[in-house]
Structure 1
């Protein structure tokens, strides 16, 4: 397939960037070449801004990576976030610049207890920072949120996952997103589960958080032709 891509690209004057073309697999690693160039196998890769990996802990690593990126964006606006500007201005920067950095790709995250806690702690630390507070001041986060009236990062990221789940539920053809959605993770001790225990389906991630009637109310969207 990759040879065909190289050939067809060359026909229209395009050339593959072999420095950015990497291979990833959870099986054997046969040698694959483009011309005389041997392609490299990697364990993780950043594709379209999201870390891709077969590792079991890739989900939490991706969330930590997004948190680190969000903090870099926060400090890039240090003059605003730590300055004597109105809180409303700082909120606009949080909502328009930092929140999108954190929640990018959150539609595919698995919201474990650990993942939720990291997102909450990230926002709590940022809110303390814009108010000039420290942890040793021992101001309860509920009081801080009353002052900032900031959008909850965790709720916003989980809402984006619900929207994506609704989109998948309306898919009626055999596109690859629907096929991948139905796939289970590897079984057995290598996947961190008991022998014979089935992996969690994407659909099942929503069941503890939704009433049955909410799951059943997804209907295809209809658009009227003008």
Structure 2
């Protein structure tokens, strides 16, 4: 196999060569050089969403009304998970991952396990804004100026 030639030339600023990277996090969003694949960013956002959810676990397991739990979920986990989604090009697979993650969080918030065999339609009674719908609506508003 031949060696592939790098299309990126070194950038030198005041006699210092800048490091060339394939990806980096800028303003809380993973930026990948030359790629419009958002799978890595969605995966990162899902992990951050779970971290936010975990910090609220005491609230979700408490006896406060479900409407307050839903509000806490929307104000924390949902915003963390969908941050930057206005720049994403969502595929069916990525939308599915977002939905599966949200359903798992809703089940945890309701104290429901997989063994309970409760359908997602019943789980949606939390009325948390659908994560995929929010991400899709945000990306539809992106004008790319």
Band the TM-score falls in, shorter-chain normalisation: 0.7 to 0.9
Q: Secondary structure at the match of 1:65?
A: helix
Question: What is the aligned partner in structure 1 of residue 54 from structure 2?
Answer: 75
Q: Give the TM-score normalised by the residue count of structure 2.
A: 0.86
Alpha-carbon offset, residue 77 of structure 1: 1.6
Q: Secondary structure at the match of 2:38?
A: helix
Aligned positions, number = 141
The root-mean-square deviation of aligned C-alpha atoms, in Å, is 2.0
CA distance in 2 between counterparts of 1:111 and 1:37 reads 38
Report 1:1-226 matches (<5 A). Answer: 27-54=6-33, 56=35, 58-146=37-125, 148-164=126-142, 168=143, 177-178=144-145
| Residues 38 and 127 of structure 1, relative CA distance in 2, 3 Å threshold | same
| Residues 34 and 128 of structure 1, relative CA distance in 2, 3 Å threshold | same
Q: Give the TM-score normalised by the residue count of structure 1.
A: 0.57
Deviations 1:3-49 (A, max 9, x none): xxxxxxxxxxxxxxxxxxxxxxxx53333333343211111111111
Deviations 1:87-136 (A, max 9, x none): 11111111111111111111121221111110100110000000111112
Instruction: State the structure with more CA Rg.
Output: 1
Structure scoring higher RCO (CA < 8 A, sep ≥ 6) equals 2
